[in-house]
A and B are shown apart, each in its own frame.
Chain A
Amino acid sequence: MNLKRLLGLFVLPLLLLSLHAQAQDKIVSGKVTDAKSGAPLDGVSVIVKGGTTGTQTAADGTFTLKVSAGVTKLIISSVSHSTREVSIGSGGVQVALEPTDPTLSEVIVVGYGVQRKRDVTGAIAKVKGDQISATPVPSFEAALQGKAPGVQIIQGNGLAGSGSVVRIRGIGSISASGDPLYVVDGIPVISDPFIRSNGGAMNQNPLSSINPNDIESIEILKDAGATGIYGSRGANGVIIITTKRGKSGKPSFTYSNKLGMATYAKKPDFVNGPEWLQLRQEAWVNSGHTGQATLPGTLTWAQASQNNTDWWDLLTGTGFINDHTLSMTQGTKKLKTFANLTYSDDKGYIKSNAYTRLAARLNMDYNITDKLKVSLTSAYNRGVNKRVPAAWDGGIGDAMSSALPIFPVYNADGSYYSGLTNPVIKTNENKRREIDSRILGGLGLEYQPIKNLFLRANGAIEYTNSFADEFQTATWNKLYSNKTTGTASRNPYWGSNITANFTANYLWNPGKDHKFNFLAGTEMQDYQRKGYTASIVKDMNQPFWQDPSAYRQLRDSLKSAPVPGISEVSQEEFTFGSVFGRINYTYKDRYSLQMIARVDGSSKFGANYKHGFFPAISGAWTISDEEFMKGIKEINFLKLRASYGVVGNANIPSGVYYDNYRVGSNNYNGNPTLYLNAPGNPDLKWETMRNVDIALEFALLGNRLTGEVAYYHKATTDILLQPGVQPSTGYPTIWRNLSNSKILNEGLEFSANYKIIDNKQVRWSIGGNIAKNRNEVLEYELGPDAVSGGTNDTRIVKGLPIGVNYLVRYYGVDAADGLPIWLDKNGKQTKTFSLDNRVYAGSVMPDYIGGFNTAVSYKNFDFSALFSFVIGGNIYENSAKYQFLGVSKKFWNFRKDFLDRWTRPGDDAKYPKLVADAADYPGVPSEDQFNSTMFLRSASYMRLREMTIAYRFTKSTLGKLPLKDLRLFVTGTNLLTFSKFPGGDPEITRDFENAQDRNLSPNITYLTAPTQKTVVFGLTVSF
């Protein structure tokens, strides 16, 4: 989309606005404010009593309405405030509305509709858009951390644009992804950061292209009572993202920006060059060798002693955050518009790493007649990710592993030293860039043929285009191959995600006490992605992103002159087709019952199980509305709700139920080849999850204390499993539903908010949430080594949580000889290591997660802080075992906390003596198998996740400036971290492309780049 067309999109609504002016009888104007704070209220409905004429207040609380001369009274109502009836006097109408409890009168998006929070019967947590966009995070989902009970967000690394692992109420899957379903404005979107397999860390995250500034609210659907409407895709929870739409009032513009700096939250510390050499010699002597220790490659001691390279320092710097958004909202009775333009650039602390987003949105709602409405939802997002290698892929990962301080960066002549690990070469001479574009167009029609019947048809197309570019400079090629030019390569994919649904919604109120709401609908989705069988590669001295014509030429020439091994190919296609219904019944406004049923068919399911049926029932009882509660003043609101339902997890790779053959991309001896990828399974189907949820919602002490307590019980069966087949079948990766399998997640959630002070001048509130999840594999017929997570780090064992650490226990050091003492299976001490002594030693899943916050406002200042925390669970440091053995022949960086090692008889040390070879510890097969509780850590931590100080200028200070509002703020993220974890940042996700590894080993560390710490300054101005 070019700039002209974008401008056009912005100008169009303004033109439409000016066309809307009519004659009138009498003009009533006025202003609506909040009775408590005196703040202007926007979006308040102002309607003529007994009539249909009406309007809504603008952002400054004012309204103007033309009414016929005889009108004397207006009804002023708002979802957040009590309704008032006012007389039209001679002057303007000034109305102050009493706020009702805001948390209960809120409108909640429930999937194919909205409900008042007080009527909701399912477990839904809502996070408002401003709580998302205010936080500088790599991708919007990271901003949810600590804000919703039972929702675990592990941001996990500091790469710009990178994704988070999101778990709602635990994890009940082994091989199938445990990621929730993301629904943006009704469209289920793809969220897998590994569409391109593993390109080095989790930084190819499709969600990062979603503009946080577009988000009106995020609803997190947790139980079957809520997710039941998403049937086979509801088991992992559903995250509904709703974008902003136009609000009533004159055109109002808001510009906001954020400028700031980024660094790492917490890093591991390593010894320097001379120290490393000294430790190397110590290990050499400890292992019984004499003379000077051998060094990596052909490096001599003389050469090594000259170097003291700080690789971390060479690869990192201060990042820069630069974010600008301009939005416009406007609304008349006929037309409402929201438009938004965002440019943001997040240059992380890792050199060369940046995520740049350009986003535009136009959402319009137009009432063609009173009965026919049309709405447009459209957006364009372009994310440019300047990717850098990380973790196992080198770069900053090398700085924590095999790039030793004794290695030089350059030769004497200034050229790169390439004989040993040198991450500076990769950073400078091997450039990567991922360019993702998303265009979204959605059109909705709502028609009301008769009173209380609403027919809605929505169709949307999301078109995605992605380039993964890589450029190896001539310098790189000369070092590592015999080429003399550079090499540009591009791996494109493009795809469409088409969804269409049709719903009929009928409201039926037979008598005063009974209210029914019927919903019936059908939906279809077709997702397709195409690409090439291999990257398009050309030897040239510029990357394709600088010379796109060279790429286009090459791509087009493939049609006329095909290159073997490269052809256009459909990479994935899947479909869902569904029929669903929902009945809500409310009796006397205090008993609610909801029934949901959905039938899902999908191309992901095997031929024998094409359709699944998913029912859910839920109810709520507003106890506080009962007569017997009327006298209790302290209780303002009390609601008990419960749900039971069956939902599914359909995260099965597409097409795997078929016998899957592939035409080889290579020939053999000039002749075509053909391969079997994997045999199919016609019995493949969704995982089934049965879910009970019971909760109590409350508002006490004059609505000052609000909150919720919830209990849930989720049992998943028909567990999808890929491994665990005898390897001699040749294809041990067939997908199947494991018989006799059951995984339980059971938990308690508590959230509360208390307004300590609440008056016009000072407001101070504290709030927080905490959730406990208990996970247990109840039924499982395979042995502990049949299925592993990560690189053999974790296990599935019946009777234990999934993803348990199955390790040899380390007892301590023998003070006499410095050798490690282990515990055998029976807990007896032994000095011989054996993998046979592995036992259940820890769990990667935390006991408690949560967050707490406080918000203070005094006059025009406000301050808020959010802490998030994790209690319990373990981190297994898979890279620490190599870092501890760094001065053995593994040759890695040596972490400073390992200096607490045995050096002479009698030493009481934490770690054993250093050795030149892991096998010098009796029984250790190699450093790879040196897994023990020596490197198992507590995962508990607490961090100051967000802190903001802001000042809002009053109308009087703004004086004659044509501004409606001006706010200045400074926000920091991850400012403080409290943790005993010795390996740097305790918030970790490892970049596992395999969903099973992410389920079982979410926080097994391997050279993870620590999360960003940021401080930004910004302003928001409305005019």
Chain B
Amino acid sequence: MSQAPLLQVEHLKKYYSMKTGLFSRAAGVVKAVDDISFQLESGQTIGIVGESGCGKSTMGKTILRLIEPTAGKVLLDGEDFTALQGDALKRARRKMKLIFQDPYASLNPRMTVRDIIGENIDIDRTYSTRQEREDRIAEVMEQTGLNLDYMDRYPHEFSGGQRQRIGIARAIVLPPRLIICDEPVSALDVSIQAKIINLLKALQRDMGLSYIFISHDLSVVKHISDRVGVMYLGHMMELADKRSLYANPMNPYTQALISAVPKLPGETVREKIALSGDVPSPANPPSGCCFHTRCPHAMPICAQEQPELKQVGEDHFCACHLCKACAAAS
């Protein structure tokens, strides 16, 4: 590909300092996102999976600069998004939108659907006449499967699935290039979840959108993504083309994660890899590889040295001391 990718994330870091005591002495840092890099091509979807507290949502917000990154760069269309200020930042932000997990908390309860969707237009002053604004709102409502009669209703009058559609309509009213979807279907029932996923896929096809799809549900991520990254305690453990990742997971954490999903009959049942213990606290992460305390294959080196993300196959990257392919690549 001659063209630069739509989004390049380079060594993105977000550290929070912990304060303690009366004079707020620094007591340490929480590395919520630690050295994450990946690229996203236009029209593609990258899925980010991981358990709670692994930093996947923080990463999404840091890319958008809703949270300022501690270090690292985000390049959007080749432009350094992290260095932008003022009007330039506002303009660049038009290209990136966010859809939230909780459709109950992410819509202003005192605004009508018309105003929730139209707010973007008002801020951006895209259309000069009222009629154009109204037409555009009606257009996206139709596109996202919302009944036009509901335009003047308030969010509490809608079900969870419909609210998520309002959230999506709001995100696409000024067509963005990239939408960061932060657990958009986790709060929904399976049959509603299927409808929202189909809608997201249809919009991607029609508008050429790119998605960063953050979720803890491995089967949903597999369905919607082209590439998948697995995060654990702020680190990217494995990043690969989805077929390669699910068919041939290299990192012991990915293997355990995939094996832990309750399967339906007819699905390939791998041997269950039982992980003992809980995810360590990000405030007090283990030395070396962050996963070594729960890893069934941990070796002495794992406690000392942090493995780097290395290429182990065509579009397959893995951070693990153990994996033979990693060793061969180094």
- Is chain B a partner of chain A in the same complex? no
Residues of B within 8 A of A (CB): none
